[in-house]
A and B are shown apart, each in its own frame.
Chain A
Amino acid sequence: MDINAANQEALGRILAAQPVLVGVGRALDLIPGMAPDLILHAGPPIAWERMSGPLRGAIIGGLIIEGRAETEAEAVALVEQGAVRFEPCHHHAAVGPMAGVTTASMPVYIIENRAAGNRAYSNFNEGYGKVLRYGAYSEEVLARLRWINGTLAPAVGEALRRAGGLDMKALIAQQLTMGDEGHNRNRAGSAIFGRLLAPHLARVGLSPETLEQVLRYFADNDLAVLNPVMAACKATMDAAQGIAGSTVVTCMARNGTDFGVRVSGLGDRWFTAPATVPVGLYFPGFSSADANPDIGDSTITETAGIGAFAMAAAPAIVKFVGGTPAEAAAATLEMYEITVGENPAFGLPPLDFRGTPTGIDIRKVVRTGITPRINTGIAHRMPGVGQVGAGLVRPPMACFEQALEAMAELAT
């Protein structure tokens, strides 16, 4: 088994990826294996009994949105009767930030990797405050989701059709030169996203009032582009999955209870360990005592070599890593120690346009003791409260050690 050759193959496929945002559709119609009784969630597989507050809250909200329950009690009863199935987004070519809850009727972005021909999907970003992805399901949360389903998504879908798709690789490359790292900060990327869509949105037949609402969504929501960026990363990493002998990580994800890792040469297996609470900065009135353990599929950005791996590009949020641009650069430099190569498409201006560190090698992680860096939002541990802060987290080393052991077993 030539691991280095297998890893070069994996890296080659990551670098060659051409993720394009081609449209919008309904999860049930598009996501492979999606079903009316199925709810997709972030992270590795988990049963209801072990789910954290925000994930449970999002599932309750999802069941209400689907019309299968009207109250929290009804939703919980439905789950406890076994009338609801749960599976990870990652098992269905999909990703979702934080709780990642995706239900059958929800609209999803469609990303097509034109190099490998595979597709990936993600739900729509709801913006800030009380939102389903942080486990909130109050009436205002549900109203917002209904507006996204009924108004925003069809308009964006039509605009994308008129635009002939949107090159996500170019968008990510641009946002990295504009102060974003593509995970915690997406202000520039969302501005580009809105700018590219705006002329087409103007022509999709919306009333001025509705058009204003839609444009305001892009004006107000710095995270608007996060979900398509995540799906672009998912489409990229799925293309590198399943290469015999490769020790490249193709997925890192958290469900709020466990952190899970998948590796190209180790098939569909998850290597999991308890998720930890991020170290971060908190909104007024909150502290780490309120924080839920790490949650969300958004770590697909780091897996694909952006997010915390591109920290050097994002001086505006360097305070998360200690406060100076030099420390932000050091954060990225550290990630080169554990990656197979660099992505020349994503040049980092502060590092003289050196490509982002790409393709986490479990061998390098275990040898150096350096776990991947992750930028993340922090959810309240109780359902329905929402985001309480943002910060940094690293996956448990045990995930990588287990994967290494599995790889060594395969090698014998």
Chain B
Amino acid sequence: MPIYGEVRRSTYYDSVALMLAQREARDLPGVEDVGVVMATDANKEILRAGGLEFPGLAGARADDLAIVARAASEAEAQAAASFAVEVLTRRRVSTAGDTYRPKTVASAARALPEATIALISVPGRFAYSVAREALDAGLHVLLFSDNVPIEHEIALKARSREQGLLMMGPDCGTAIIGGAALGFANRIRAGRIGLVGAAGTGLQEVTSLIHRLGGGITHAIGTGGRDLSSAVGGATMLAGLRALELDPGTDVIVLVSKPPAPEVAGKILAAAAACSKPVVAAFVGATVEPTGRVQGAATLEEAACRAVQLACGTEAALPPMRSLPEQESGRLSGGQRYLRGLYSGGTLCYEALVLLRPYLGAIYSNSPADPKEALEPVTRSREHTVIDMGGDEFTQGRLHPMLDPTLRLARLRQEAADPETAIVLLDVVLGYGAHPDPAGALAPVVREVRELAFREGRHLAVVGSVCGTDDDPQGAGAQRAALVEAGVLVGESNAQAVHLARLIVETRGAREARHTQKVIAASAAAPAWPDVGPVSALLGTRPAVINVGLELFAESLQAQGVPVVSVDWQPPAGGKQHLLDLLDKLEA
């Protein structure tokens, strides 16, 4: 086999550079072996032993560079040698942008010393230790993860209370702190209304409607869906309420929740009554008894209107509905009787349930207002059905429907094909973290299923609303337009869309079944305020965030200009449970 070799006088390269050049050149076609070495006696011996001797090698000195290749042809050998020289001499592109991606919260905190919040979205079973590490590092926490055991939530909130830190979540989908939208959150005008919410899309709906009504917010603090349960006792809502009371920028406070445990709600309302600022409490599905400066709101829309009225001193209301329910219902065929709600927002779904039940009777759901109305199996609708597609049954091992529309689109096709379906009720949730064009994903399928129904002699009414603002990355106006274009009747709020759907379906002979809502009053004694010094500090500065989990949350923070460092998180101990148990034992 031909050998080509050359010697370059007084040419020094580091041995690693030489080995790299040699390796690359050896990969060329036809090449059998390559030597790129400084011509020391030892290296010359190695070349000879490897059958790479060439004329001129013997005379080369230790500070000369020897390049030799053996290949199928003389030309290929020569090409390999010149390629090796090219590799040695080519200028490397500077990679100053290369930065280390920290693997733990502690090292991320070192990389971003001004960090104030950890945004954690790792799988629930791993969430406790990550959140604990963040609290230990003195960070406030937004724990997005769901499926976190309640005892972990209690322990984390007890720990955060000791430190005066804000523990938002687990299962906290949204927050806006100092203008930074965390998790799923909308772009909301700055203003004088502060919110605390135990209901993710509830908080999104109220803040988006405040924006549409011309108002603005200071902060929207999330608590996680279980904060107002008896077990957790409203720890985060109390801390958030206190922090907003002390926040000089906040004039009006809004509390948002699905129906809380009565004794916890009583405690929260007593605390709210002790506040120096007016408080609007929207506990969807429960009626709040007014006390002092605390007033209730029956819908999320009403909460937004009242808050804007209090903050701006002007009458606030959404424009009246422009659709005609009778017209719609007149086009339905005989068998079409039922409403089918397919929600991506949990609170919006719940609001639909509580607004519909007084008029339509039983509504089956995977998150029913009454356990007797549980939908089994969740894959098959029954009479009036309203489904939270973000429920655990639908999100195990896959993305939330606010991010990935696949499952909801499939369900939409399924409901539309059912001849008993009269109306499909939808939500579209915008904001940071959400799908970049949710209406765009829905529109073609809405069009398709309505045409299909038409060919089968039916008229399918699709009613929906858009939760979000014109300032959101997706633009609420454009999203509404896309839905209207596809034939969706778009309400101004979720409450209005539900109202319209109810009016249409009522004409199909739905039985009226008036439920009386639970009335919640403030308890006699207000609870002691927690120390929220560090929370006040948080609300007073522009946040900086350590993100652990879903990368898109870091991307959306970056888009907002919020300083963020992402942890390159991997399941601890490779996810091996017995090792995790041992670690927990050794670290207890």
Contacts and interface: CB of A to CB of B under 8 A. Distances in A.
User: Are the chains A and B members of one assembly?
Assistant: yes
B583 A404 contact: yes
Contacts of B34: 284
Given A281-B20, A389-B19, A369 B573 contact: yes
B321 interface: no
Contacts of B571: 369
Given A323-B92, A366-B583, A404-B583, A330 B100 contact: yes
With a 10 A CB-CB cut-off, give which of B17, B22, B98, B586 has the most chain A CB atoms.
B586
A284 B92 contact: no
B528 to A, nearest CB: 33
Contact of A411 (B49, B579, B585): B585
A317 interface: yes
Interface string A318-348: 0110011011011001101100000000000
B47 interface: yes
B14 interface: yes
A25 to B, nearest CB: 31
Interface stretch (B102-110, B206-214, B253-261, B545-553): B102-110
B303 interface: no
A405 B582 contact: yes
Given A285-B50, A323-B92, A369 B574 contact: yes
A86 interface: no
A316 B583 contact: no
A35 interface: no
A281 B16 contact: yes
Interface string B13-37: 0101101101100000000011111
B20 A404 contact: no
Contacts of B587: 3, 363
B570 interface: yes
A399 B210 CA distance: 58
A408 B107 contact: no
Interface string A348-374: 000000000000000100111110000
B583 A283 contact: no
A125 to B, nearest CB: 15
Contacts of B19: 281-283, 389
Interface string A164-204: 00000000000000000000000000000000000000000
Contact of A284 (B52, B95, B104, B107): B52
Interface residues of A, number: 38
Among A282, A284, A320, residue most surrounded by chain B Cβ atoms (within 10 Å): A284
A285 B35 contact: yes
Nearest to A408: B582
B96 A326 contact: yes
B43 to A, nearest CB: 8
Interface string B572-588: 11101001001101110
B52 A285 contact: yes
B102 A128 contact: no
A128 B42 contact: yes
A128 B102 CA distance: 38
Interface string B100-124: 1011100100000000000000000
A382 interface: no
Contacts of A408: 582, 585-586
Contacts of B95: 324, 326-327
A407 B585 CA distance: 10
Contacts of B572: 367-369
A129 interface: yes
A200 B72 CA distance: 56
B99 interface: yes
B103 A284 contact: no
A366 B35 CA distance: 41
Given A281-B20, A319-B20, A326-B99, A404 B582 contact: yes
Contacts of A327: 95, 98
Contacts of B583: 363, 366-367, 404
B46 interface: yes
Contact of B586 (A323, A368, A411): A411
A158 interface: no
B17 A319 contact: yes
A390 B34 CA distance: 17
Interface string B28-67: 0000011111000011001101111000000000000000
Interface string A374-412: 000000000000000110000001000100110110010
Nearest to A330: B100
B50 A369 contact: no
A401 B575 CA distance: 13
Contacts of B573: 366-367, 369
Nearest to B20: A319
A247 interface: yes
Contacts of A407: 582, 586
Contacts of B16: 281, 316-317, 319-320, 390
Interface in A252-292: 281-285
Contact of B98 (A319, A326, A366, A369): A326
B184 to A, nearest CB: 29
A285 B42 contact: no
A337 B96 CA distance: 22
A165 B579 CA distance: 46
Contacts of A389: 19
B23 A401 contact: no
Nearest to A312: B100
Sorted nearest first, the 9 A-B pairs with minimum C-beta distance are A285-B50, A326-B98, A281-B19, A284-B35, A330-B100, A408-B582, A333-B100, A319-B16, A367-B572
19 contacts: A283-B19, A284-B37, A284-B46, A284-B52, A323-B92, A324-B95, A324-B98, A326-B98, A329-B100, A330-B98, A333-B100, A334-B103, A363-B583, A368-B104, A369-B573, A369-B574, A404-B586, A408-B585, A408-B586
